[in-house]
Amino acid sequence: MAVKQSDSVLPSAREEILRASGDGPTEQLLLCTGVESTTHDVKTFTFEPAGPPGPRPLRHAPGQYLTFTFEIGGAEFCRCYTIASPPTRPRTASITVKRVPGGTVSNWLHDHLTPGTALRSRGPLGEFSMHRHPADKYLFLCAGSGITPAMSMTRTLYDLADPADVIFINSARSPEDIIFRRELERITATAKNIRVTHICEAEAPAEHWEGHRGRLTLDVLRQIAPDFRDREVFTCGPPPYMDAVRRMLTDAGFPMEHHHQETFEAPPPADTPPAADTPTFAVELTRSGLTIECDAATPLLEAASRSGITLPSSCGRGMCGSCMATLVEGAVEMQHNGGISPRDRAQNKILLCCSTPLEDLAVDA
């Protein structure tokens, strides 16, 4: 059965959402205005535009993200964080971050970011949004902090009183690790078209878990969403979780053109050497005065890394925009995932992580 296109979102509201990311990403300072503990190892940070006082909306589509630049210990770090708040509440934007053992940025955020601190950001970015795939029925599958884009989309539908049917399946380690648990309970108590199910691998010390146990399987999915094949599916979580979901849906005969997923983790470098007849070009990095070789099958960022040169980057997938540079001379082929706007491309900007050379190049990097 085909997934129907939805007219359920109010037309004026839908137009506002569609307009949200129409101008592409912008760079701006965001001022932290609030910090809230969401679970024992997760915090939510709320921001508004820095600068003169007055209402200035932060326009974005539900599910999009921002790239932040942090200065920690004399070094710069770029990280992508989904905007967990909905575009229906445009005066602020919030991100929800899990503390990662040994994680430089997540630990800095938890230990040092306080209201009044300004951070550099770029965005909104990303194609992972229900506004690009409108439907009458949605299935949100998430695990861990991958809950944030599903939460932004759910909050948006809830705020708009949208009648779209939503099944939200969230996997967590234990009940105490369920992010946004109380808010989701409030949403489901007042919106009968939104159903939320949590799956926990283990119990919490202070709570006996009576819900689904273990991990998401096809049998469990059929119990919770017997009509899952008729839904538009959005998946976000750790790469092993998303790989398992993709295999499960494929094996079940799900129409994968209606499956969408997002990850900010960089893919590993390709192990396969280029074909013997692949041409190689000289790439001048004008800022450093160095010249490297790069074949037509290798992204510029990877070629620089192989030459011992570290350039700014984060996602490695053409999503975050942190490796953007100006192409001074030459031509490239660029296969990006939403991390660069038409305006940037018109100014000869490229993303080094997903651009391969078509001839000798000069790049401002």
pLDDT digits (tens, 9 = 90+) for 180-206: 999 999 999 999 999 999 999 999 888
pLDDT digits (tens, 9 = 90+) for 81-120: 999 999 999 889 999 999 999 999 999 999 999 999 999 9
Confidence of residue 292 (pLDDT cuts 50, 70, 90): very high
What is the pLDDT at residue 320? Answer: 77
SS (H, E, C) 312-358: CCCCCCCCCCCCEEEEEECCEEECCCCCCCHHHHHCCEEEHHHEEEC
Instruction: Let me know the angle formed at the C-alpha of 344 by 27 and 310, rounded to the nearest 5 degrees.
Output: 75
Q: Model-level pTM?
A: 0.82
Percent of the chain with pLDDT over 70: 90
Amino acid at 348: N
What is the pLDDT at residue 77? Answer: 85
pLDDT digits (tens, 9 = 90+) for 127-146: 899 988 999 999 999 999 99
Lowest mean pLDDT, pick from 148-162, 197-211, 338-352: 338-352
Confidence of residue 10 (pLDDT cuts 50, 70, 90): very low
Lowest mean pLDDT, pick from 112-121, 253-262, 297-306, 332-341: 332-341
Average pLDDT value for residue range 313-339: 86
Lowest mean pLDDT, pick from 4-8, 87-91, 151-155, 327-331: 4-8
Average pLDDT value for residue range 23-52: 90
pLDDT digits (tens, 9 = 90+) for 41-82: 999 999 999 877 666 778 899 999 998 989 999 988 888 899
Q: By C-alpha distance, which of 322, 304, 302, 305 is closest to 314?
A: 322
262 vs 104, which has greater pLDDT?
A: 104
What is the pLDDT at residue 26? Answer: 80
What is the pLDDT at residue 95? Answer: 98
Average pLDDT value for residue range 327-335: 95
Q: By C-alpha distance, which of 247, 218, 246 is closest to 234?
A: 246
Res. 280: pLDDT tops 90: yes
What is the pLDDT at residue 5? Answer: 38
Token pair 């990095």: residue? 285
Q: By C-alpha distance, which of 330, 333, 335, 346 is closest to 285?
A: 330
For 81, other C-beta atoms within 10 Å of its C-beta total 24
**Mean pLDDT of the chain, nearest integer:** 89
What is the pLDDT at residue 265? Answer: 60
Identify the three-state secondary structure at position 219: helix
Burial grade of 355 (CB within 10 A; 0-12, 13-18, 19 or more): buried
Confidence of residue 6 (pLDDT cuts 50, 70, 90): very low
Average pLDDT value for residue range 26-32: 90
What is the pLDDT at residue 9? Answer: 42
Average pLDDT value for residue range 279-295: 94
Res. 233: pLDDT tops 90: yes
Lowest mean pLDDT, pick from 15-19, 56-60, 278-282, 320-324: 15-19
